[in-house]
Amino acid sequence: MKIGKIVSVTGGTGFVGAALCRKLLRSGYQPRIITRSHPQERAEGMQYAVTDYDNIESLENAFSESEYIIHVAAALFGRSKEEFEKANVENTKNIVAALSSMDKKPKKVIYISSLAAGGPTQNPEKPRTEEIKENPVSCYGETKLRGEEKIKKLSPEIKYVILRPPIVYGKRDKGFHKIAEMVKRGVMVNAGGNAFFSFIYLDDLVEVIQTALVEKNLLGNTYYVCENSIYRWKTFIELLAQEMGVKMPLMLNMPPAMLHIAGHLSELITGILGKAAVFNRDKAREASAGHWIAYSGKWERDTNWKGWTPLKRALKKHLKKIQIDLNPSRKINSRSFTNIRRNIVTGI
């Protein structure tokens, strides 16, 4: 049986990585999941390579014979800057060192960064674009940006593309389920306040990554990738409550100082329970920092992108019971950001 081109994926068992590997397999590639330990269950058709991110030789062995590398693995939640530093900077540095020293180098590396590397914006009429200087406000954002800098130091023979998605949502999203648990309890912090957010549907992000693999005119570039509509966070919560058949939870608007205290308490409690601190001091800083929005016009131009899955359609696909008309709070277009106010929907 002929094996397709090997695409090694770090974080291949995670929310984005697993969906990506399934898509690659369907498209004729041979996905290789780079992991720290042998999984209890192996997905059909996948290769697995166990590695030590602190060991260059181990990484070289894991990536051997790979045509492409997709670096998805990252620390999204942490209790200290050191945790983010280790996962998002040092591990990326070691991957770069390993790939650059290999005799048979991969052709291309796709690095999955984040909107957090660019930072928020204070003006909802001016979403982040690639021309705006980065200004991360969290440890996560700072270390993802430094991870980008490490990727740019790859051996010249290895080409790269950097992608900066915002909030990713879709099937098998554990973060989404954690939020649903909070909704069920009936009380939730409105961490975003009146801020606007950009989103990208998981299926769209997977398609974006695969496009970056094959397109040749993207090399050496960084791209924001997202649906070009922006929404209030409250929309997600209202939809969840209706789908679950529960009342809209009490939304507590908290000042930044209280958010910071809540994040610290969450770290302490989840630490005792041995769980991930999904809400922490780092996320508290992000929550009170402004609007988390971006414009993906550069990606659309360079790839002739045919369109994004709107939030309304994607949620209807996965939340069948919802009987609500979900409209974008604001629609971004390439001609004028100043006309956005015409499209404001203040609430649903």
d(CA 305, CA 213) in angstroms, rounded, equals 14
Is the distance from CB of 223 to CB of 163 less than 8 angstroms?
Answer: yes
Domains of the chain, with CATH numbers?
A: 6-166+200-226+293-309 (3.40.50.720)
What is residue 291's DSSP assignment? B
With residue 322 as reference, give the H or E element that holds it.
Answer: none
Global pTM reads 0.86
| Residue 277: band (very low, low, confident or very high) from pLDDT cuts 50, 70, 90 | low
Residue 154 has pLDDT above 90, yes or no: yes
Residue 107 has pLDDT above 90, yes or no: yes
Q: Which of 55-59, 184-188, 206-210 has the lowest mean pLDDT?
A: 184-188
**Lookup result for tokens 């001091």:** 281
d(CA 85, CA 93) in angstroms, rounded, equals 11
Is the distance from CB of 290 to CB of 120 less than 8 angstroms?
Answer: yes
pLDDT tens digit sequence for 224-238 = 999 999 988 887 788
Is the distance from CB of 331 to CB of 229 less than 8 angstroms?
Answer: yes
Residue 332 has pLDDT above 80, yes or no: no
Q: Which of 12-26, 36-50, 150-164 has the lowest mean pLDDT?
A: 36-50
More confident residue, 184 or 48: 48
**Lookup result for tokens 């790839």:** 303
More confident residue, 337 or 23: 23
Residue 272 has pLDDT above 50, yes or no: yes
Mean pLDDT of the chain, nearest integer: 85
Among 77-91, 254-268, 275-289, the range with the most confident prediction by mean pLDDT is 77-91
Residue 322 has pLDDT above 90, yes or no: no
> In whole angstroms, what separates CA 146 from the centre of its chain?
16
Q: Which of 7-16, 78-87, 257-266, 299-308 has the lowest mean pLDDT?
A: 257-266
pLDDT at 231: 87
Q: Which of 38-42, 56-60, 142-146, 312-316 has the lowest mean pLDDT?
A: 312-316
Is the distance from CB of 314 to CB of 227 less than 8 angstroms?
Answer: no
pLDDT at 312: 75
| Residue 2: band (very low, low, confident or very high) from pLDDT cuts 50, 70, 90 | low
Residue 278 has pLDDT above 70, yes or no: no
| Residue 95: band (very low, low, confident or very high) from pLDDT cuts 50, 70, 90 | very high
| Residue 323: band (very low, low, confident or very high) from pLDDT cuts 50, 70, 90 | very low
pLDDT at 337: 36
Q: Alpha helix locations (H) across 162-274?
A: 174-185, 202-214, 234-244, 256-273
pLDDT at 330: 57
What burial letters (b/e) apply to 195-208, b meaning 16+ CB within 10 Å? bbbbbbbbebbbbb
